[in-house]
Amino acid sequence: MPHVALVSFSGARVREREMLELGMTLPGLHDRLVAVTSLPPLGLLTIAAMVAPDWTVSLHETEARGADLLDNVLSAHPSIVAISALTASSIEAYAFSRKIQDRAIPTIFGGLHATTCAEEASRHFTSVIVGDGEALWPEVIADASHGHLKSIYRANHPFDLGRAPVPRYDLLGTIRRPRFTLQTQRGCPFACEFCGASRLLGPFRIKPIELVERELEAIAAIDARPVIELADDNTFAAPHRALALSDLFRRYRVRWFTEVDWRIGEQFETLAALGESGCAQLLVGVESLVFRYPGMGKKAAELDRVMQAVEAIQNAGVAVMGCFIVGGDAETRDSIDRLARFIESSPFADIQLTVQTPFPGTALYRRLDSVGRVIAERDWSYYTLFDVTFRPDQMTVAELEDGFRQLVRRVFRPEETIRRKLIRRGILRGRNTESCDRDHDLSTPAGTA
Ligand code: B12
Ligand code: SF4
């Protein structure tokens, strides 16, 4: 029987040594790193559900396998090897693919990086998939069966999420997952200049609620009280969905969290339902205090209005992780200090800090590249959201690196981490749900909205 080995270049990545050390030592950051590294590779689990019935499938995650990855994959005797990697691990994936190809086994590459850098990736893989995996995977499997794989596959139409298969969560095996991922929508109606996800696979689409429920059932079959991180770009971008999703999650008694834009904080009729649904935390992009990114649409509001929305969400019993991008145009050492002071006096239950990163395929990449501001010597492995990959307009690269490190030290110093933990406890205590006694760390470093 033909066999496809699915390989995920999973886990977190940071290049700069001092940032890595900070991530390992500061309590607020370390807990977060540990929590995310075991998130399931949802893209691969999704296409696994579309493999033809005469094929067998195995899943191999770099985090679990480390140096044994090659042996582990080869021991499955694959007919083809399908690989998923983000930009930060793309160079590792290229090298791995060549080792597999040396054994005369075809390799297939998909995901956001494959979609945005298809020509480059096609030099290292037998085939590259551009866009939604579901739209092309059946054709790839058919071509692999006949030994006629093409170099690049491009979808003619965006995949209709009304036909979404249930991801093969069963492939995750017996290692306990602290969290599962599930997708309720894809894309976003906004087009924030820096966004490395919203438009790259196709337009904004939502998954019918009954299909979301089927996926919840599949997760509940593995874990009766799961914690779920929605792998959405901006969950309530279609505002009418918030009530239906809240009701569904409440019925399944899951703890969940996701990424949204701040406008949900003005949907007062929805907030109570959200608080009662088991929603523990929403990640909300405030983005920058100094630079208004193009493409943010209605998300670009006055800071006071955004903060009122944040307080309304937290008053409803849902913690908010405020997300800030450092290094946008007009950023200076002074503005980084102002950001630190703002965060210290803010009511956010948690904070995410990232360095502005011009991911390939984004409008930000095109703008900075067109004026020579992308640092060519820093390859894709620097595209981690914590390393500097461009020249700031008001500082040197070293000044931005140093400013970001100081900011991280200050915002995640033990007293501040404890202050935010107490805010989170207060929010959870005030809510009307039986799940509030489980105060997990529900933070993620990878969100978008
Ligand atoms: C969950 C998540 C994670 C998880 C799991 C990642 C994983 N292995 O899937 C964890 C926490 C591990 C993670 C880590 C990182 N993440 Co992350 N993460 C996400 C998040 C929130 C959801 C991803 C997801 O599950 N999507 C749903 C699935 C269904 O979509 P998908 O994976 O794209 O798969 C579809 C297609 O792409 C395709 N496909 C994917 N792979 C393959 C393979 C084949 C063979 C085929 C045929 C098709 C195919 O088919 C799928 C169905 O259509 C996104 C935000 C977002 N909205 O995308 C950020 C995001 C993907 N992460 C991002 C980043 C930057 C990171 C980190 C670098 C952070 C860090 N410093 O560590 C690391 C990556 C490190 C590494 N190993 O390379 C960026 C990526 C930008 C980019 N172009 O690289 C995003 C977009 C967030 C952002 N702020 O911009 N992340
Ligand atoms: S950053 Fe968030 S709000 Fe902006 S386009 Fe991306 S998903 Fe949408």
* Number of residues in the chain: 449
Quick check: 60 and 5 in contact, CB under 8 A?
yes
Backbone angles phi, psi at 380, to 5 degrees: -60, -25
| Residue 165 DSSP class | P
Q: What is the pTM of this model?
A: 0.95
User: Which residue matches tokens 């066999």?
Assistant: 3
| Residue 166 DSSP class | P
Bridge-based pairing of strands 107-110 and 180-182 is unpaired
Q: How far is the CA of 178 from the centre of ligand 2 (A)?
A: 26
Provide the token pair at 146: 């006949």
Q: How far is the CA of 342 from the centre of ligand 2 (A)?
A: 23
Provide the token pair at 346: 């803010």
Q: How far is the CA of 262 from the centre of ligand 1 (A)?
A: 22
Tell me the Cα Rg of the chain: 21
| Helix axes of 397-411 and 333-344: crossing angle, nearest 10 degrees | 10
* Predicted confidence (pLDDT) at residue 222 exceeds the cutoff of 80: yes
* Predicted confidence (pLDDT) at residue 22 exceeds the cutoff of 90: no
- pLDDT average, residue stretch 107-133: 98
- pLDDT average, residue stretch 368-375: 98
pLDDT tens-digit profile of 181-206?
Answer: 999 999 999 999 999 988 899 999 99
| Residue 424 DSSP class | H
The pLDDT, as a whole number, for residue 25 is 67
Q: Which protein residues are within 6 Å of ligand 2, measured from CB?
A: 188, 190-192, 195, 197-198, 233-234, 261, 285, 299, 448-449
Q: How far is 174 from 136, CA to CA, in rounded Å?
A: 30
User: Which residue matches tokens 């290292």?
Assistant: 124
Backbone angles phi, psi at 43, to 5 degrees: -60, -45
pLDDT tens-digit profile of 56-107?
Answer: 999 999 876 667 899 999 999 999 999 999 999 999 999 999 999 999 999 9
* Predicted confidence (pLDDT) at residue 27 exceeds the cutoff of 90: no
Quick check: 151 and 143 in contact, CB under 8 A?
no
Ligand number nearest to the C-alpha of 362: 1
* CA distance from start to end of the chain: 43
Could you tell which of 108, 112, 362 is best to mutate to test the pocket of ligand 1, judged by most ligand atoms within 8 Å of the CB?
112
**Burial tier of 265 (Cβ tally within 10 Å: 0-12, 13-18, 19+):** buried
Q: How far is 254 from 220, CA to CA, in rounded Å?
A: 9
